[in-house]
Structure 1
Amino acid sequence: MSSPAAGMTLTRTRLVFWYSVFAAISIGANLGSQSLAFHLYQGTYAVPISVCVGTAVGLVVKYLLDKAWIFRYEHRSVAHGVRTFALYVAMGLGTTLVFWIVEFGADALFHGEAARLTGGALGLVIGYVTKYHLDKRFVFA
């Protein structure tokens, strides 16, 4: 599958559009896998475990989409790919903290899965806007 912008420079409008589409896909992957994990396991620490599962799934989905379609970035070697992914994860630590604070804050204020997932979606949107600028400058430069 070729990138929506293959062979051309993304205009600001196209960049915002495609980044938003991929953020929505990643949010869906994160919250969907989070919900699935929560429903599969409701024992001790079910919420934190489900949030970690969702975060991991969303991270991998977003990385693959950003790398291939937004930044059109190719690794020079396996080691370079591992280093790039590690840097991507490092840039996401702060934005993940924001996401978790908003998600757990919504859960604490409004109680329940719907409130938690809504807070998670809002936290992810805030995080992704910030993360784009970090990734552009430090990861896929």
Structure 2
Amino acid sequence: MTRLTLVTRYVAFAMVATAVNLLVQRIVLLGGDTALWFIAALGAGTLAGLVVKYALDKRWIFYDTTTGTAAQGKQFGLYSLMGVITTVIFWVTETAFWMIWGTDFARELGAIIGLTVGYVTKYQLDKRFVFQEVSR
């Protein structure tokens, strides 16, 4: 795969996962706008985005063909673990924007900035620790 194809796919998949994340957050936030609803929205959106991004990365970025429940479970666990640092970047940025400006637009802008920084970092971690046997 060429570098341009890799970057194009990765950016497109990050955008899809970000859209899923924010859509799920909006749905959860229909329940209320308290701090508890915000935390629930962050968690639900993060999980939804994680699952979508894993499926896309596994198949179209790293061409991974790992099968079997145990192997896939271990791999998804590593993928999720690599996401802890990047998720903190995303959550801190989104929360800071929400607390400073207090608007949905600012919250989502913070999410997009945090997710962008996080995804760039996550690609390097995934390539090195999760999909190292199949990386191209």
Q: TM-score range by the shorter chain?
A: over 0.9
Separation of aligned partners in 2, 1:113 and 1:49: 15
Could you list the structure 1 runs, at least 4 aligned residues long, displaced by more than 4 angstroms after superposition: none
Rate the CA distance shift 1:83–1:107 in 2: closer, same or farther, 3 A: same
1:42 aligned onto 2:32: yes
For residues 13 and 27 of structure 1, what CA distance do their matches in structure 2 show?
21
**Total equivalences in the alignment:** 131
Structure 1 regions of 5+ residues with no counterpart? 1-9
Query: TM-score, structure 1 length as denominator?
Result: 0.90
Counterpart residue identity of residue 42, structure 1:
G
Q: Tell me, in whole angstroms, the C-alpha distance in 1 between the residues paired with 2:112 and 2:33.
A: 24
Task: Give me the TM-score of the superposition, normalised by structure 2.
Answer: 0.93
Identity %, equivalent residues: 41
Which residue matches 1:56? 47
Say which of 76, 79, 84 aligns to 1:88: 79
RMSD, matched Cα: 1.0
Consecutive unaligned residues of structure 2, counting only runs of 5 or more, are: none
Alpha-carbon distance in structure 2 between the residues aligned to 1:128 and 1:96: 9
Deviation at 1:74, TM superposition (A): 1.4
Residues 101-135 of structure 1 deviation map (CA, whole Å, 9 limit, x = unaligned)? 00000011111222111100110000000000000
Q: CA deviation at 1:77?
A: 2.2
